[in-house]
A and B are shown apart, each in its own frame.
Chain A
């Protein structure tokens, strides 16, 4: 049986950072990874350095909404390819869910689908919780509570940042998932052995609500009622730019997003072609009003050198965000031209 682990956690809570770090460990060398992103453009694949062909990206919807088709087909296909030797003989599967995923249908499928259960065994659920925004997110987004409640292991991220409420979050987590060990982790640095090989998933060990949610998922999977739709509550869109952005444009744009959108913008991430650094892209991340300084990759991860940014939020104003970038670009271009004209005039006068 091939163990399957699920990494879940709310938008921007550090799932991709954790996974990227885990995959660098030699103990994870025989791992097939399935990444599911909520957004028109898949970026996480570019942010995790791997050349392994057993890397699958699902970007046409949320796993928990399309679990019967996408996840089962993907896992089934991986098993066939593994048996045929067309993918490396992986010994573990890790599924990274979207930040909005409800874990219940995913776990239900992994535990009950007859075909899948012949090959795969659910090993455990790892949930990431943001130590800075986690408490507020629990209040406003029930998805984050469900994700943490399902977890066998909880990874508390960003505990090194100012504003981290590590103790308060641990107390809150202890109320609805007392059995899950909590690891305070900085930048995804944790040994795989601490998170994986939990043994078969056992819903009975979890808080009572978890069993209820699993039962709900069972009903939904049987066609008893429609599963929820994220589209009702969240907006996602992407911005793609063929032309590089000036560094100052990027700085102003990120600053204005954080200052004006507040909690409406749940998550922003992007890979940016900065005009001043054409050979390496900047990776930007934002979670609500907290943004990281850009991380510069050593090189472009693919031939695609366009700027690609994904935005996820509740009541997001797409027109405002697009307009903001357009206007800042225009203003920076205008200023650049003005400085160039002034410089040329100065040279003429001095000559």
Chain B
């Protein structure tokens, strides 16, 4: 069961609203699944890597607002093993401070 590209873009758009980030999401030329453009001019490209990249499922390239093309972040993508890692990566790149680090409290002992 493959994650549908249209569904991924809709989900990323919803994620941006959740993080209160003003940006758009559009389709890209394969293997790019989504291109995120912020109002300030930053761009994030989300790609599906080829099978050779497994177990990584997503690659993320980015260009900061006002940054010239060809920066290291654009040339050398970050690899993400899951959708959850992808979200964290994008959130970090866009400096979306909404949300916080998960804290898992210890479970009560067995009675």
Contacts and interface: CB of A to CB of B under 8 A. Distances in A.
A298 to B, nearest CB: 9
A330 interface: yes
Contacts, number: 103
A259 B2 contact: no
Interface in B1-47: 1-4, 7-8, 10-11, 14-15, 17-19
B71 interface: no
A260 B7 CA distance: 18
Contacts of A163: 103
A161 B105 CA distance: 7
B50 interface: no
Contacts of B11: 320, 323-324, 327
B interface, how many residues as a size bin? 20 to 34
A139 B2 CA distance: 44
Q: Helix, strand, loop or mixed for chain A's interface? A: helix
B88, B98, B101, B102: most-surrounded residue (chain A CB, <10 A): B102
Contacts of B98: 260, 262
Interface of A: 158, 161-163, 187, 252, 254-256, 258-262, 264, 289-295, 317, 319-320, 323-324, 326-328, 330-331, 333-335, 337-338
20 contacts: A158-B105, A161-B105, A162-B103, A187-B108, A252-B82, A256-B84, A258-B100, A258-B103, A259-B91, A260-B99, A289-B99, A291-B102, A291-B103, A294-B107, A320-B14, A320-B17, A323-B7, A328-B82, A330-B1, A334-B2
